[in-house]
Chain A
Amino acid sequence: MTDIQGAIIRDKSKKIKISRNARSQEVMAYIFIAAPLALFLIFTCYPVFRAFYLSFTQYDILTPAKWTGLENYKRLLHDELFYITLKNVFLYVLMYVPSMIIVSLSIAMALNKIQYAATTYRVIYYMPGLTSSIAAATVWIWLLNPEYGIVNQILGYIGIVGPTWLANSSTALVSIVIVTVWQGIGGNMVIYLAGLQGIPDYLYESASLDGANKLSLFRYITWPALKPTTFFVVTMSMIGAFQLFDQAFAMTQGGPGNATKTPVYLIYTSGFNELQMGYASTMAFVLFLIILTISMINMKINGENSIN
Chain B
Amino acid sequence: MKKRILSLVTVILVISMLVALAGCGGNTSAGDTTSAVESSTTTEATKTVADSKPVEITYWGDWAGEGQKQFEVMMKAFNESQTNVVAKYVVTQDMITKFLTAASSGQSPDIMFWDRWRTSLYAPKGVLHPIDEYMTKDNVKAEDFYTEAVKELTYKDKVYGLPLTVDARALFYNKKLFAENGITTPPTTWEELNEAAKKLTVWNGKKLERAGMSMQDAGLFSMWIQQAGGSMLSDDGTKTAFNSEAGLTVLNYWKKMVMEDKVYKVGFESGLDKGTDAFATGKIAMTYSGPWMLSTYKNYGKDLEFGIVPPPAGPNGNKGAGIGGFGLVIPEGSKHKAEAWELMKWWLTVPENAAMYGKTSLNIPGLKAATLDNFYSGDELYKPFLETFEFAKIRPTVSGYSTMEEKALIPNLQLFLEGKQSAEDTLKKAQELGDKVLLENVIK
Contact A169 B12 (CB under 8 A): no
The answer on a CB contact under 8 Å between A256 and B415 is yes
Assess the B265–A38 pair: CB atoms within 8 A.
Answer: no
Q: Which residues of A contact B431 (CB under 8 A)?
A: none
Contacting residues of chain B (393-427) with chain A, CB-CB under 8 angstroms: 400, 402-403, 406-407, 410-412, 414-415, 417-418, 420
Neighbouring B residues of A269 by C-beta, 8 Å: 403, 406
- Give the complex CA separation of A37 and B19 in angstroms: 13
B271 touching A275, Cβ below 8 Å: no
Question: At the interface, is chain B mostly helix, strand, loop or mixed?
Answer: helix
Nearest-neighbour CB distance to chain B for A51, whole angstroms, equals: 14
Question: Which residues of chain A are near B82, meaning CB under 8 Å?
Answer: none
B residues near A254, Cβ cutoff 8 Å: 411
Q: Chain B, 252-293, contact with A by CB distance < 8 Å: what is the 0/1 string?
A: 000000000000011110111000100000010000000000
Distance between A278 CB and nearest chain B CB, rounded to angstroms: 12
Contact of A168 among B101, B266, B410, B441 (CB under 8 A): B266
Q: With A80-B433, A166-B270, A272-B96 in contact, do A257 and B418 touch (Cβ < 8 Å)?
A: yes
Q: Verify if B97 is at the interface (C-beta below 8 Å from A).
A: yes
Q: Are A38 and B411 in contact (CB under 8 A)?
A: no
Q: Which of A93-101, A141-149, A176-184, A296-304 contacts B (4 or more CB under 8 A)?
A: A141-149
Alpha-carbon distance A41/B104, docked complex (angstroms):
24
Looking at B8, B122, B265, B267, which has the most chain A CB atoms within 10 Å of its CB? B267
Across the interface, do B271 and A142 meet the contact criterion of CB distance under 8 Å?
yes
Nearest-Cβ distance from residue A169 to partner chain B, whole angstroms: 6
Contact B104 A38 (CB under 8 A): no
Size of the chain A interface, CB-CB below 8 angstroms: 47
Q: How far is the CA of A30 from the CA of B418 in the complex (A)?
A: 61
Interface residue? A165 (CB, 8 A): yes
The total of chain B residues at the interface (CB under 8 A) is 53
Of A57-65, A103-111, A126-134, A239-247, the one contacting chain B is A57-65
Per-position contact with B for A265-308: 1 when CB-CB < 8 Å, else 0?
00001001111100000000000000000000000000000000
Say yes or no for A154: interface residue by CB 8 A criterion. Answer: no
Question: Do B265 and A146 have beta carbons less than 8 Å apart?
Answer: yes
- When distances are taken between beta carbons in the complex, the residues of chain A under 8 Å from B271 are 141-145, 149
B440 within 8 A of A: yes
* Complex-state Cα separation, A38 to B13, whole angstroms: 8
Shortest C-beta distance, B220 to chain A (Å), equals: 15
- B100 touches A (CB below 8 Å): yes
Chain B residues closer than 8 Å to A256, beta-carbon distance: 266, 411, 414-415, 417-418
**Inside 8 A of A145's CB, which chain B residues have their CB?**
267, 270-272
Identity of the chain B residue whose Cβ is nearest the Cβ of A61 in the assembled complex: B100
Q: Tell me which residues from 109 to 151 in chain A have a Cβ below 8 Å from any Cβ of chain B.
A: 141-149
Q: Which of A14-73 contact B (CB under 8 A)?
A: 26-27, 30, 34, 37-38, 41-42, 46, 58, 60-64
Whether the pair A144, B270 counts as a contact (CB closer than 8 A) is yes
Task: Return the chain B residue nearest A47 by Cβ.
Answer: B20
Residues of chain A within 8 A (CB-CB) of B402 are 273
Contact assessment for B265 and A258 in the assembled complex, using a CB-CB cutoff below 8 Å: no
B125 CB–A CB distance under 8 Å: yes
Q: Is A222 an interface residue, CB under 8 A from the partner?
A: no
Report if B15 contacts A (CB, 8 A).
yes
Residue A255 at the B interface, CB < 8 A?
yes
| Interface contact A141-B403, CB-CB below 8 Å | no
Contacts of A30 in B (CB 8 A): 5, 8
Distance from B94 Cβ to chain A, minimum over Cβ atoms (Å) = 9
Complex CA–CA separation, A64 to B28 (angstroms) = 9
Give the nearest-CB partner of B13 in chain A.
Answer: A41
Q: Is the CB of A274 within 8 A of B441?
A: yes
Residues of chain B contacted by A42 (CB below 8 angstroms) = 16, 19-20, 23
Minimum CB–CB distance from A172 to chain B (whole Å) comes to: 10
B417 proximity list for chain A (CB < 8 A) = 256
Is B207 in the interface zone, CB < 8 Å from A?
A: yes
| Distance between Cα atoms of A29 and B433 in the complex (Å) | 57
Min CB–CB distance A273 → chain B (angstroms):
7
Tell me whether A164 and B441 are in contact (CB under 8 A).
no
Q: Does B344 contact A (CB under 8 A)?
A: no
Interface string of B370-413 (1 = CB under 8 A from A): 00000000000000000000000000000010110011001110
**Residues in chain B near residue A58, CB distance under 8 A:** 444
Given known A60-B125, A62-B103, contact A167–B270 (CB-CB < 8 A): yes
Contact at A274–B418, with CB atoms within 8 Å? no
Contacting B414 at CB < 8 Å: which of A75, A80, A143, A169?
A169
Say whether A147 contacts B268, CB under 8 Å: yes
B121 in contact (CB, < 8 A):
yes
CA distance A272 to B104 in the complex (A): 15
Q: How far is the CB of B116 from chain A (nearest CB, A)?
A: 16
Known: A256-B411, A274-B441. A169 touches B418 (CB 8 A): yes
User: B267 contacts which of A26, A60, A168, A273 (Cβ < 8 Å)?
Assistant: A168
B interface list, Cβ under 8 A from A: 1, 4-5, 8, 12-13, 15-16, 19-20, 23, 31, 96-97, 100-101, 103-104, 121-122, 125-127, 206-209, 265-268, 270-272, 276, 283, 400, 402-403, 406-407, 410-412, 414-415, 417-418, 420, 433, 440-441, 444
**Could you list 10 further interchain pairs (A-B, Cβ under 8 angstroms) beyond the known A38-B16, A46-B16, A255-B411?**
A38-B12, A62-B103, A81-B407, A147-B208, A147-B268, A166-B270, A256-B414, A257-B411, A257-B414, A257-B415
A-B contact pairs, 19 of them (CB 8 A): A30-B8, A38-B19, A60-B125, A61-B104, A62-B127, A63-B125, A75-B440, A80-B433, A141-B271, A142-B276, A144-B270, A145-B270, A145-B271, A145-B272, A146-B265, A147-B268, A168-B266, A255-B414, A257-B420
Question: A residues within 8 Å of B by Cβ?
Answer: 26-27, 30, 34, 37-38, 41-42, 46, 58, 60-64, 75, 80-81, 141-149, 156, 161, 164-169, 254-258, 261, 269, 272-276
